[in-house]
């Protein structure tokens, strides 16, 4: 891998899961909105046009969906951290930025969320 800093963006992945600290939140599926940026070197894939030379974001997305829908975390911080861990399992991903929002969690606010950045 070279020194290129390229990005793969997964935008507005809308899922439902058990998340929150209130008693009613532990019994009801909540909407979450997830945005992920994978930092990697895409030059090999740009030359070869071969899926083997890049991060397979479809596979990663399926893993994130399965993990999120089966989760029951109290905090969006924990969900974001687990998503980052999944992304960093692919050694081609050097850094990942994960934003998890919980629409409607705050009265008078469209959404509230966290953004984390993790590197290997």
Catalytically active residues are 102
State CA 65 to chain mean position distance. Answer: 9
Full DSSP string of the chain: --S--EEEEEEEEEEEE---SSTGGGTS-EEEEEEEEEEE--HHHHHH--GGGS--HHHHHHHHHHHHHH---S-HHHHHHHHHHHHHTSTT--EEEEEEE-TTSSTT-S--EEEEEEE-
């Amino acid at each position: 891998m070279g020194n290129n800093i390229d990005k793969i963006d997964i935008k507005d992945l809308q899922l439902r899961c058990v998340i929150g600290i209130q008693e009613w939140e532990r019994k009801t599926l909540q909407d979450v909105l997830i945005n992920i940026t994978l930092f990697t070197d895409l030059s090999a894939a740009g030359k070869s046009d071969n899926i083997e030379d890049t991060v397979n974001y479809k596979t990663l997305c399926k893993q994130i969906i399965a993990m999120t829908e089966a989760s029951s975390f109290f905090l969006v911080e924990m969900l974001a951290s687990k998503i980052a861990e999944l992304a960093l399992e692919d050694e081609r991903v050097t850094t990942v930025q994960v934003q998890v929002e919980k629409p409607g969690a705050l009265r008078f606010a469209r959404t509230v969320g966290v953004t984390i950045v993790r590197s290997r």
